[in-house]
Structure 1
Amino acid sequence: MNWSGRDGDAAGAVWRPPPGKRGAFLLGRLVASGGRKLRVRRLGGSRAGEMRLTRFLRNDAVTCEEMLSEAAARTAERCAGRHVVAIQDTTVLDSSGGGGAYLHAVIALDGEDDAILGLVDGQFLERSGGRRAGRRQARIEEKESFRWLMGADQAASVCAGAASVTVVADRESDIFEMFALRPEGAELVVRAAHDRALADGGALFAAVDAAPVAGRAGLVLAAKPGRKRRTAQMAVRFLPVALACPANGQRRDLPQSVAVWLVDVRESDPPPGEAAVHWRLLTTHAVSEPAAAFLVVDLYRRRWAIEQLFRTLKSQGFDIEDLGIEAAAPRNRLVTAALIAAVCIQQLVHARDGGPGPLRPVRDAFAPEDQALLEACCASLEGKTERQKNPHPKGSLAYAAWVCARLGGWTGYYGKPGPIVMLEGWLEFQAMKRGVNLLRPHSLGVGDVV
């Protein structure tokens, strides 16, 4: 893959010379080495490569903000005219004694087919141990929870060209300011964490518990640790509510109340031994009928995409929790590059089946000049039977995903290739591309992986 900033590559022009060549080298090595622990020595591949990456990671001219900005610019192009679902969440990089380092990420999904359109934002948080005095009285801008508002603002900005933008987040983002200061052009779906006071004097949870069941439907629940994938039968309730502004010394320019809708969905008959799924969702989308309520539920269900991205960054891929880099700046640069690479891998995983909906173009994750090598690889991997042939059209991301899966060891017969298989396939693809580039050294571009 080419990381030089030409249309279709993931990192964009952030990798400018002289750090640019090292940045391209790092991203190529990250994708090629994914699925195993990140170590600068191993990523470099040699003493010269190790020193090359060390200089890049410790170069103050290279900023995470610039890397993320270029990745977001590529995402903005893909969001144009689409109904976008922006998912945000926080994951632990390192934790000890109540403190630690955290990564807050925002990704964009296509609302029509759940395809990952790209990275929207990333923020690094450093937390010290111990209780923080006066936390409840502090302004939202002074709190860690401000990251949720920043993520929503960035989603509205990056995806400004989209047909619509819905920001989805879990219970930690249940903050009054999230709704009171909602950015223009963005809707919200937030899982409720607090039994909030309502403007009419009532309580949030009691109000929805008293509402009648409005409809029932099946909902596919993704597998996660401790739960198998299943279709759950869900009952839904919904009603409009006005959330009262908390009286805890916050900024005085907030409204006394904010009008939203509350959607409550509960599993009717969970399997033996499993807890029933129960989500209370606050949303700025208007919900006037059961079908609209289940659309809100479906929006929240898509949170699995960022959970899978974090698994690729951690135990199922790059293992960023065990980097062995103590200094925050070089660690964050490496994590940022890994995050960009992990998004590419997740795009391939999603594209592997080729649907539903129109196929994503190969330029979402590949440079145009990669197409010839992909086709050559495909020709060598296809067998005589229909099941051994690539079923996807050339020029589609699904076509490239099939090639990477086969290069990663997938036979085409058993199961579906996951992130690790895709990563291993990238290892083979990068090796092949490097070989081709070495045969024509005078044709290399500034950002080619060599």
Structure 2
Amino acid sequence: MVLPLQTFGQVNFANAQLGDKRRTNRLVQLADSMARRPSGTLPQKFNSPKDLRAFYRLMDRDQVTHEAILASHREATCLKIKQIRGPVLILHDATELDFTNHKSLSDDMGQIGNGNRRGYIAQNSLAVNPKTRQVIGLYNQVLHHREDAPKDELTAQKRKRESRESRLWLRGADPLANSEKLVDVCDRGADTFEFLEHELASGRRFVIRASHNRAIIPGHGDQGSSDQACYLRNYAASLPPAGHWTLSVTSKVDKKVRVRKGKKKSANRRAREAKMAVSFAPVQIKPPAKKLGEHGNDPLAVWVVRVWEEDPPAGEERLEWFLITNQPVLDFEDAYQVVGWYECRWIIEEYHKGMKTGCSIESPQFTSEERLQPAIALISVVALTLLQMRDASRRWDAKKRKATEVICSDYVSVLSAWRHGQIKPDWSIHDFFYALARLGGHQNRKSDHPPGWQTIWRGWNDLQAMLCGVDAMKIVKRCGQT
């Protein structure tokens, strides 16, 4: 017996507890419609006025909450994780959602940016398969209001304050299972003694990029001695390399905003082949003298892994990371695995770009948080389709599987007409993906590398404009114009 494939909505929201089965069915239908046209504003996502009205009515129900929608998707994500052999990475990071122009919500939103904007800090936890680097699902999302810190707040008062922003890492990891199969991967913002202690007690593994040059004791247990106390970065930098490899570094332009003056400063990085080295050692991190979080006073036994570029070109900033992990690192292969886990962290940055630029998550015009937040949850899950579409193009069956299984037929029609001068409804996912890359500037030559995310993104944005033009021409024809 051949079972029919489940739709995107059925996989992620069939078990949503919304107080009425009819609401769940409606959510499934709307999720399928949005997944086929994920970009643009809500009227562009739902080009049927009937579906748009149904979406607004659904978001207006008290039982339809951010957690109710996310919980159903989390359940589906957990089922996928169980089917994967080996570790699964949980990438944690935050992004700002700007709703400054939503005047009716301005009093309810928190500070973002330099303090003049209003919105949420969205702490996302993304599940990823480290072997294939395919996105599994959004395990958790916390919508945080940044509050004004009380004047003359004492350190003890800040430590106990529930809205303290450093608690976001704890809240993001809260629903995760206590399983060694899960590996929490975090950037420098998570480097707090409070979170490190929490992770060691969680039953999960973790990789966190070090932000502070912490006081440490080299070695574990009886190997360490308080007389040998030194600092994390200094000690790691003194270790000899355990192995080398070559890393292809892409060009990049970083634009950093100065907090006080608000001016952007550009830093250019040229593409190159970098010779990388890695070293590692067991250490014990000593508790800070000034307690900023809620934690104990015992040292934390971890491993430090240093990754660096040995001979950077003149004028280029050296690539270097200091990673803290509880994964035992005994040889070069262990260290290289930890580095590989951390390298997957960039996927969540792509996801944030997909949320905001690809799915316009900041565009919905709601007048209350209770209606806006479940919409954010739904769009956040739909945003995964942009990454999953790319992942699907790299699967073994990409040349056989129809593109219309994962993308709206309108997109396939417009792109195939642009590429070949005729509509090809039977296009495969591989055909669609590489035509999209061609639209973004990729030449599809045999010597070219597979198209990167930036190229795909340029093609995707151009395709949106083309589709809007097609929709506009349909309106013109209905009006009797030629």
**TM-score category by the smaller chain?**
0.7 to 0.9
Q: In the alignment, which of 309, 321, 325 is matched to residue 267 of structure 1?
A: 309
Mapping 1:296-445, distance limit 5 Å: 296-315=338-357, 317-325=358-366, 327-354=368-395, 401-402=429-430, 405=433, 414=444, 416=451, 418=456
1:33 paired residue among 16, 33, 37: 37
- CA 147–229 in structure 1, closer or farther in 2 if over 3 Å, else same: farther
Deviations 1:365-388 (A, max 9, x none): 99xxx59x99xx99xx8xxxxxxx
Query: Counterpart of 1:216?
Result: 244
Distance 1:321 1:4, change over 3 A: closer
Query: Which of 42, 47, 72 matches 1:70?
Result: 72
**Which amino acid counterpart does residue 188 of structure 1 have in structure 2?**
F
CA deviation digits over 1:28-69, x for unaligned, max 9?
343233333x2x344343544333222222322111112211
Tell whether the 8 Å contact from 1:245 to 1:255 is kept in structure 2 after alignment: yes
How far does residue 228 in structure 1 lie from its aligned partner after superposition?
6.0
Q: Does 1:192 align with 2:196?
A: no
Q: List aligned pairs for 1:186-265, cutoff 5 A.
A: 186-199=204-217, 200=226, 201-221=229-249, 225-226=253-254, 227=269, 230-249=272-291, 254-265=296-307
* 1:278 aligned to which of 293, 308, 320: 320
In structure 2, stretches of 5+ residues that fail to align are: 1-5, 99-111, 218-225, 255-268, 417-423, 445-449, 468-482
Alpha-carbon separation, structure 2, partners of 1:312 and 1:197: 39
TM-fit CA distance, 1:73: 1.4
CA distance in 2, matches of 1:21, 1:101: 29
* CA–CA separation in structure 2 for the residues paired with 1:18 and 1:326: 25
Aligned to 2:196: 179
Aligned to 2:184: 167
SS at match of 2:211: coil
CA deviation vs aligned residue, 1:80-124 (integer Å, no higher than 9, x gap): 233211111100002355264111111111122212122211111
TM-score, length-normalised on structure 1?
0.74
Flag the 1:61–1:53 CA change in 2: closer, same or farther, 3 A. same
1:134 aligns with 2:172: no
- State the alpha-carbon separation in 2 of the partners of residues 50 and 100 from structure 1: 24
- Which whole-Å CA distance do the structure 2 matches of 1:273 and 1:187 have between them? 37
The reply on whether 1:155 has 2:176 as its aligned counterpart is: yes
| Distance (Å, rounded) in 1 between the aligned partners of 2:371 and 2:54 | 13
| Larger Rg computed on CA atoms | 2
Between the aligned partners of 2:458 and 2:23, the Cα distance in structure 1 is: 29
- Deviation for aligned residue 1:338: 1.4
Q: Matched residues in 1 for 2:28 and 2:294: separation?
A: 48
Structure 1 unmatched ranges of 5 or more: 382-388, 429-450
Specify the code of the residue in structure 2 equivalent to 1:134: L
Pick which of 215-224 and 402-411 moved more.
Answer: 402-411
The 2-side partners of 1:25 and 1:263 are apart by 47
Q: Residues of 1 paired with 2:251 and 2:161: CA distance?
A: 35
C-alpha separation in 1, matches of 2:282 and 2:53: 59
SS of structure 1 residue aligned to 2:230 = coil
* 1:339-381 C-alpha deviation (Å, 9 max, x unpaired): 11111221121231236xx99x98xx99xxx59x99xx99xx8
Aligned-residue sequence identity (percent) comes to 24
Q: 1:12 to 1:147 in 2, by over 3 A?
A: farther
- Aligned partners of 1:11 and 1:420: how far apart in 2? 31
Change (3 A) 1:237 1:100: same
Contact 1:107 1:119 in 2 (8 A): yes
Instruction: Indicate the larger mover: 253-262 or 102-111.
Output: 253-262
Q: CA deviation at 1:246?
A: 2.2
Does the alignment pair 1:124 with 2:165? no
Asked if the contact 1:64/1:332 (under 8 Å) is kept, the reply is: yes
Q: In the aligned structure 2, how far is the partner of 1:406 from the partner of 1:279?
A: 34
Amino acid at match of 1:20: T
Note if contact 1:192-1:282 (Cα within 8 Å) is conserved in structure 2.
yes
TM-score (norm 2): 0.70
Letter in 1 for 2:368: A
Say whether the 8 Å CA contact 1:83–1:110 is kept in structure 2: yes
Q: Is the 8 A contact 2:209 2:324 kept in 1?
A: yes
* Cα 1:47–1:203 shift into 2, 3 Å: same
What is the deviation of 1:295? 1.8
**165-174 or 140-149, which moves further after superposition?**
140-149
Q: Kindly provide the amino acid, as one letter, of the partner of residue 107 in structure 1.
A: L
Using the TM superposition, give the Cα deviation of residue 131 of structure 1 relative to its aligned residue in structure 2, in angstroms: 5.9
Taking structure 1 as reference, are residues 289 and 409 closer, same or farther at Cα in structure 2, changes over 3 Å only?
closer
Greater RCO (Cα-Cα under 8 Å, separation 6 or more): 1
Aligned length: 396
